Amino acid sequence: MSAVWRPAGMPTHLQGRRWLWWLGLPLALCCAALAATQGAYAITLNDLPRLWAWWWRPADAPFNPDLTAAQVFWHIRAPRLLMACLAGAALGVSGAMIQGLFRNPLADPGLIGVSAGGALGAASCIVLLPMLSSGMSGMAATMVFAFAGGVLVTALAWRLSRRQGQVHLANLLLVGLAINALAMAGLGLLTYLASDTQQRALNFWLLGSLAPSQWTTVLAVLPPVLLALIGSHTLQRPLDALALGEAQARVMGVNVKRLQLMCVGLTAMAVGAVTAVIGMVGFIGLLAPHLIRLLLGPRHHVVLPGSALMGACLVLLADTAARTVAPPVELPLGVLTGLIGAPVFLVLLRQRGPRAQ
């Protein structure tokens, strides 16, 4: 990782057309949401007005012939759509913050151990506390352990990277890699000790899925994701200054220690909450900021909100593909994002060449 990272500017042929992309991203998000209404039980655009009216019907209204479609949409599809948007926004904006913090476009929220820690926490609950993790209440307990594991592992990486009261990013990167390896080793040990039933539950956290999305889980994830989005708004100028190097950022009045703590803390909170519900989903935090920098330029007042929108679009589209490619089988979301995201990212790196370094 170079001492100073100056992100490449916006491509010349796209300059002056930024407003088109700002208009296109919300439209793409709407199109992705509409596409996600498709699935094993198809819901067309013509059904949406009736479904909206069904939700607001009087309690004593007679039987509605669209009852099945309404229940599928409002109790299964709608919370899943919102969870996909929240998860994508959290992963996208977290990836943008971590890349800005490390001054490296190849950085990822997983570098600080939050995803591996969340999976280790969930595995600990499933394998070591089977009585606690069984039944309907067991899912909530597993999510709590997953969130706690992600936050605690990130806090451990932060603490171990401190030297003389200062956190050096090179140390944080190396400690994060070691903590990730340790967490994955613990996860492998728990998988080896797990029964067949427990291994099937563990596969969910390793492969990722939006299937557990309910209104209760959406409401649980909403506060930390909103806090991360709001908090990232205050980091736009400091991250722009940090792109010139830590010394220059301090000269410009940036509290680098506070900036590091906020980026890591907001990322651990948002990604930990998302991982606790849907499991490990890769490449969104890496790919979304990279696409936004390519399309809209490197300034963080554009990259941070743009990455949230792009991440939401990517997760919605990936989930739609996961549910519709091989019905009635649902492909794992994390596997699909990896299969799609890795080749796309390699193509982008090849096109940009040395500028991505």
The pLDDT value recorded for residue 289 is: 93
- Please state the rounded mean pLDDT for residues 179-195: 89
**Number of H helices and number of E strands within the chain?**
16, 2
In the three-class reduction of DSSP (H, G, I as helix; E, B as strand; rest coil), residue 231 is classed as: helix
The pLDDT value recorded for residue 357 is: 45
- CA angle at residue 24 from 87 to 83, to 5 degrees? 15
* Bond from prior residue into 105 cis (ω within 30 degrees of 0): no
Q: At what angle do helices 196-207 and 114-128 cross, to 10 degrees?
A: 160
Mean pLDDT of the chain: 82
* Greater model confidence, 112 or 351: 112
- Please state the rounded mean pLDDT for residues 177-181: 89
- Look at residues 120, 126, 145 and name the one whose alpha carbon lies nearest to residue 273: 145
- Please state the rounded mean pLDDT for residues 137-162: 86
pLDDT digits (tens, 9 = 90+) for 116-146: 898 899 889 888 887 766 655 567 888 888 9
CA 72, 76, 78, 80 torsion: positive or negative?
negative
On the CB side of 282, CA atoms within 13 Å amount to 19
* Greater model confidence, 154 or 50: 154
The pLDDT value recorded for residue 237 is: 93
Instruction: Count Cβ atoms within 10 A of the Cβ of residue 73 and give its class: 0-12 exposed, 13-18 middle, 19 or more buried.
Output: buried
Distance from the Cα of residue 167 to its chain's centroid: 25
* Greater model confidence, 351 or 285: 285
CB of 191 within 8 A of CB of 265? no
The pLDDT value recorded for residue 7 is: 53
Give yes or no for residue 15 having a pLDDT over 70.
Answer: no
The pLDDT value recorded for residue 239 is: 94
- Please state the rounded mean pLDDT for residues 218-244: 93
pLDDT digits (tens, 9 = 90+) for 295-322: 888 889 889 999 998 999 899 888 888 8
Question: What is the residue whose two structure tokens read 């193509």?
Answer: 347
The Cα 85–Cα 333 span in angstroms is: 14
Top mean-pLDDT range of 44-48, 87-91, 156-160: 87-91
| pLDDT bucket at 94, cuts 50 / 70 / 90 | very high
* Bond from prior residue into 62 cis (ω within 30 degrees of 0): no
The Cα 212–Cα 216 span in angstroms is: 10
The pLDDT value recorded for residue 65 is: 52
H or E element that contains 251? helix 246-251
CA 284, 24, 35, 54 torsion: positive or negative?
positive
91-95, 206-210, 345-349: least confident range: 345-349
- Look at residues 135, 46, 136, 39 and name the one whose alpha carbon lies nearest to residue 78: 39
The pLDDT value recorded for residue 226 is: 95
CA distances from 340 to 92, 113, 349 (A): 16, 23, 15
Top mean-pLDDT range of 53-57, 87-91, 276-280, 318-322: 87-91
Give yes or no for residue 285 having a pLDDT over 60.
Answer: yes
| pLDDT bucket at 91, cuts 50 / 70 / 90 | very high
Q: What would you report as the CA-atom Rg of the chain, rounded to the nearest whole angstrom?
A: 21
Give yes or no for residue 330 having a pLDDT over 80.
Answer: yes
14-23, 89-98, 141-150, 161-170: least confident range: 14-23
- Please state the rounded mean pLDDT for residues 319-329: 81
* Greater model confidence, 216 or 8: 216
CA distances from 196 to 87, 108, 121, 261 (A): 29, 32, 19, 40
Give yes or no for residue 327 having a pLDDT over 80.
Answer: no
The Cα 260–Cα 158 span in angstroms is: 10
The Cα 49–Cα 178 span in angstroms is: 52
- Look at residues 163, 169, 177, 168 and name the one whose alpha carbon lies nearest to residue 104: 169
CB of 276 within 8 A of CB of 124? no
29-38, 52-61, 250-259, 331-340: least confident range: 52-61
The Cα 119–Cα 275 span in angstroms is: 8
